[in-house]
Chain A
Amino acid sequence: MNARAWNCAAALTVLLFGFGNAFAQGFAGLGTDAEGFSVPEAGKQFQFPRDHGPHPDYRIEWWYLTANLTGPDGADYGLQWTLFRSALAPAEAEGWESPQLWFGHAAVTSALTHRATERFARGGTGQAGVTAEPFAAWIDDWQMVGDSLDRLRLTATGTDFAYDIEMQAQGPLVLHGNHGYSVKSAKGQASYYYSQPFFAVEGTLTLPEGEVPVRGTAWLDREWSSQPLAQDQAGWDWFSLSFDAGEKLMGFSLRDTAGGSFTSATWIEADGSATPYGDGNLVATPLETSRVDGRDVPTRWRLTLPDRALDITVGALNTQAWMNLSIPYWEGPVRVIGTHPGKGYLEMTGYEPR
């Protein structure tokens, strides 16, 4: 899914070209040819649990988890935990020689507050990495570990928050696009992309006001690629929604610089069977923008998917869920009303300050 590619690309760009002008640089290196890196091809059969682990031959990869949680008083919370891998060369090595770079993002969002932080590490030293069996993904003291991907413990700490949750998968893995081959533009850029959207969650958030026991659901995205973006793509809006009736929807809209967009969606039944929808089926229309960090960011959307008679309004729990990190973006929990009420997560990038 493209959103994550952008995000990772952005973070990599930050590292490669310095802070501040990441977008101005046009994500150089990612729109271009992949030098020496493997490129996703249709028809690949995923091998689990091996493919839960890293793919150092590909330039970028991530383990991306979002959770919609509820406190004892009924208050909604959102939680994010992401580990990115970004390779300077398609290889792995011991120690500082390793060309693999890792970064982590973690956030906790409530209706009134949003706390986020990040970590950076080099591969090869043991400071960060992923192993498939038993499953462990970590950067510093943040980790997502378990005997298998079905049962995980997730922790992260920042200067003003921490969380520690247990997750148990209630359904199967879901492959997006063509058996996990997810196309990202009309020109054919693509990535490998699968999800585990069926986690049931129980755990504790540690916030300045105290510890909050929480329950809810979580959605893990796995994606890797080497050149997933077309050069004229400027940003994206990405939705992962869980409806009260049990179905789920993954959808994204990649905005190009000319004002058009490329959309893609996966409709997921409660039993995990998935239907991919190509460009144009999903229509996402901004209804309302909020002023965030000097930018106008759409925080209320209308989403329609005619094939499923879906017509919903997606609104941010906290319009100020701004990830003010090395590369800033918007990521936060949303509430869904309309034909299919529910909850979910929204990520948006490429909104320039105005």
Chain B
Amino acid sequence: MTGAVLSALASHWRRNRLQLLTLVLGLALATALWSGVQAINAEARASYDAAAATLAEGQFDQLVPREGDSMAQEVFVTLRRAGWLVSPVVEGRLRVGGTAVRLVGVDPLTAPAGSTASAALARTDLAGFLRAPTLVAGPETAALLAANLPNPVLRDQTVAPGTVLADIGVAQELLGRAGRISRLIVLTDQPLRQRPLAEIAPDLMLRHADGASDVGRLTDSFHLNLTAFGFLSFAVGIFIVHGAIGLAFEQRRGMVRTLRALGVPLRRLIVLMVLELVVLATLAGALGIVLGYLIATLLMPDVAATIQGLYGADVAGTLHIRPAWWLSGMAMSLGGALFASASAMWRLARMPVLASAGGRAWALASGRTRKLQAAATVVLLVAAGVLAIVGGGLIAGFALLSCLLLGAALALPSCLAAILRFGEGRAVRVMVQWFWADTRQQLPSLGLALMALLLAMAANVGVSTMVSSFRLTFTGFLDQRLSAELYVNANGVADPAALMRFLETRADAVLPTMSVDATLAGLPAEIFGARIGYTYRENWRFLDAVPAVWDEVEEGKAVVINEQLSRRADLRVGAMLALGPGLSLPVAGVVGDYGNPIGQAIIGEALFRQAFPDIKPVRYGVRTSDPGGLREALLEELGLPPSSIVDQSALKAFSLSVFERTFSVTGALNVLTLAVAAFAILMSLLTLAAMRLPQMAPVWAMGTTQRRLAGLEILRTVLLAGITTLMALPLGLALAWVLLAIVNVEAFGWRLPMYLFPAEYIRLMLFALAAALLAGLWPAWRLARMEPAALLRIFANER
């Protein structure tokens, strides 16, 4: 009997291949986007974990300098001789072949066990490691090192991408930091007797292990972002699957009745149908995981670039197959399919054996369902409102987004119905009236696909508004900051004094850039020394500042900080900021800073040189009316290497290209979401087409040509899509507001002004309409080309 039932069930799919395709493809697409995003997240997290595991940062307390970014090596010996079991680390970025790698120098004899570094070193020949200037790195980085440096290079799979391990002495030399160490790792087991830290090393402070890496926490928001996108795509996909499954179950009511009448127990039937679904979902899940892997592979380099650009964290550009994401993809596929079919199964289980086999598709929009939907809409939108007012934190931000989007999606059918009813009321001609009424009747079946379109469209509007607002702000920021015509990199300059003399006579102004890493208000930050001149006075725009802010800074009486520092440390204009021992200055201004994730404080050049006498300028901004000529002069007269001079436009172009890469991931996910929504519409229309014949046939029989009917079908689709996209616009703007005013502030520490981009929205709407048109075209074409006999047959059928 089981075989017979299975064959009967399968026959449905044989007859409705398109429906099978919808189901499998919908589920596969949903799974693909979800598992793709998860794959990216898993890869990036693995990279952070590997980077943090390099020195097992989360497990050990550290001693760091209270000011500056390094301490004398003698501090290490002093501490050891005072009974402190500490191990020295020197860390810095090393430029290798055009990119920068994180070089970590450790002392293998005192480094604690339990870190990647000690494990990797245990695998090497330690004598060789100590005697030759050996570098240890992962495969990608090792190849880069081997091609560019004379040092022996060892490959080790466990070393994080972009990280290089070396003996501390080797690292100090490569980084040009002889005799300096960055910090000290405090081993877990300390001896009975120690002299107090305050007595032996008052300039150090103890930073407690917190079990999580800084970069992991910093990038959490980015991954939450990606996950939200993945989930959105999945939700859209599940709409498709729900539609396809619901339809299949409706269409099989007759079969189910027949089978049950023939004596198949309900329980067995249900079990077999669930089994059938599980097989299909597994198939679709597998397909989705393969697709997801492809998507992730394509996006991974951009994600790596984004994370490097935003947070300075190194992520492998290649993808590994990790159980975490493909299992989660499979679970989502199975769970999604069962979730989407739950209501259909429930109805099937409760259906009386001899109930009419007539379709219930048209009765879906029963009063009860609509009331439930309305109630859910109200609850969700109220929750969104409450969250917008009282919510704080990234999670609340995303919760607000979900409530807003889901609430709006649920409200969509009712709104559409109201609009259509309004149109119907205005219609005079009978054909027009029929058009409105028939459109409204289709709503319940098309509703899910339209919701998908609404979500996709709103996400597109919201995200593109955010990205474009960001781009506009960022370009303005670049214009402010990159105001010098030429930038001369001091690293390639043999004689800085000669360069200064040369520039002072030939250029309008020279702006040296000096910076030092520091911990400000307990947060990682940089202190910049600036030569205040007309460039700063004219170009810089403040978010908030005292009058004559630059005068105060120039005189060493005040400090300007960036928005990140201001928000994270809650420092407003007028607050005091401790820059080091004995050096506290009031904050005179807060500037927007969209170029880096950490805090910055800007002080006058004189004060900087006094506070950090060892720090030399790394770059000079040069103001000149003849950049081309000066560049030539620098190259020819001073013999500077061409690579050490960058002109403003090149720097801007480079910064913008980094920006574009940063958001290319978002853009790609956006397009994919919209494509999934278009697919949803197409599939809904295709499945509806056959069911709608009983509605069409009488209209045809009364003299409307097939061609005209097909035209009306297209018009109907475009009309529904048009109204939906129109409604998506305010929703998208609300979304953009949440992203800019809440999510961005939490994730990156800056609040961006929101700009509107009508042309962009029109383009998006046209794209959505075109997608809907394309989706409607095929079913309409099939209707226009249908054999009249097929339409005639409708009247012979039982319905």
Contact = CB atoms under 8 A, between A and B. Distances in A.
B312 interface: no
B123 interface: yes
A159 B77 contact: no
Given A95-B179, A126-B77, A127-B77, A157 B193 contact: yes
Contacts of B168: 96
Interface in B148-169: 167-169
A117 B192 CA distance: 12
Interface in B208-231: none
A127 B127 contact: no
A19 B122 contact: yes
Interface in A78-117: 88-89, 95-97, 99, 101, 117
Interface in B414-446: none
B509 to A, nearest CB: 43
Contacts of A18: 122-123, 126
A16 B123 CA distance: 10
B83 A99 contact: no
Interface string B188-207: 01111110000000000000
B77 A125 contact: yes
Contact of B81 (A101, A140, A159): A140
B125 A16 contact: yes
A158 B191 CA distance: 5
Contacts of B1: none
Nearest to B83: A141
B494 to A, nearest CB: 27
A238 B15 CA distance: 90
A351 interface: no
Interface in A102-152: 117, 120-122, 125-127, 138, 140-141
A206 B192 contact: yes
Contacts of A158: 191-192
Contacts of B170: 96
A175 to B, nearest CB: 32
B332 to A, nearest CB: 43
Nearest to A156: B191
A19 B85 CA distance: 21
B190 A96 contact: no
B172 interface: yes
B109 A101 contact: yes
Contacts of A19: 122
Interface in B102-117: 107, 109-110
B20 interface: no
A141 B167 CA distance: 24
Contacts of A97: 169
Contacts of A121: 80, 109-110
A127 B190 contact: no
A199 interface: no
A198 interface: no
A60 to B, nearest CB: 13
A89 B132 CA distance: 12
Given A125-B73, A140-B85, A141-B80, A99 B130 contact: yes
A206 B169 CA distance: 37
B507 interface: no
A158 B122 CA distance: 24
A138 B131 CA distance: 24
A159 B127 contact: no
B325 interface: no
Contacts of A120: 109-110
A160 interface: yes
A325 interface: no
B82 interface: yes
Contacts of A17: 125-126
A202 to B, nearest CB: 19
A162 B179 CA distance: 32
A15 B126 contact: yes
Contacts of B74: 126
Contact of B192 (A88, A99, A138, A160): A160
Contacts of A219: none
A161 interface: yes
A286 B796 CA distance: 108
A315 B192 CA distance: 31
A88 B73 contact: no
Nearest to B131: A88
A4 to B, nearest CB: 20
B76 interface: yes
Contacts of B123: 18
Contacts of B167: 96
B83 A89 contact: no
A306 to B, nearest CB: 45
A99 B131 contact: yes
Given A89-B131, A99-B130, A101-B109, A162 B81 contact: no
B717 to A, nearest CB: 70
Interface string B54-82: 00000000000000000001101100111
A138 B81 CA distance: 9
Contacts of B192: 157-162, 206
A164 B277 CA distance: 77
Nearest to A155: B193
Contacts of A117: 191
A267 to B, nearest CB: 39
Nearest to A103: B109
A140 B82 CA distance: 7
Contact of B190 (A95, A101, A126, A159): A159
B83 A157 contact: yes
Given A19-B122, A141-B193, A158-B192, A88 B130 contact: yes
B193 A127 contact: no
B118 to A, nearest CB: 11
Interface in A1-45: 15-19
Contact of A140 (B80, B107, B130, B169): B80
Given A122-B107, A140-B85, A159 B189 contact: yes
Interface string B246-287: 000000000000000000000000000000000000000000
A125 B107 CA distance: 11
Interface string B479-523: 000000000000000000000000000000000000000000000
B169 A141 contact: no
A159 B126 CA distance: 27
B282 to A, nearest CB: 45
A95 B169 CA distance: 8
A17 B81 CA distance: 28
Contacts of A89: 131
A328 to B, nearest CB: 16
A15 B111 CA distance: 13
Contacts of A141: 80-83, 191, 193-194
A218 to B, nearest CB: 21
A162 B193 CA distance: 8
A68 B82 CA distance: 27
Contacts of B169: 95-97
Contacts of A160: 192
7 contacts: A89-B131, A95-B73, A120-B110, A125-B73, A125-B77, A140-B81, A161-B192
Smallest CB-CB A-B distances: 9 pairs = A96-B169, A157-B191, A141-B83, A120-B109, A126-B77, A140-B80, A162-B192, A157-B193, A159-B189
Interface of B: 73-74, 76-77, 80-83, 85, 107, 109-110, 122-123, 125-127, 130-131, 167-170, 172, 178-179, 189-194
Given A95-B169, A95-B178, A157-B83, 19 more contacts: A15-B126, A17-B126, A88-B130, A88-B131, A89-B131, A95-B179, A99-B131, A101-B109, A117-B191, A120-B109, A121-B80, A122-B109, A125-B73, A125-B77, A126-B81, A127-B80, A141-B193, A159-B189, A162-B193
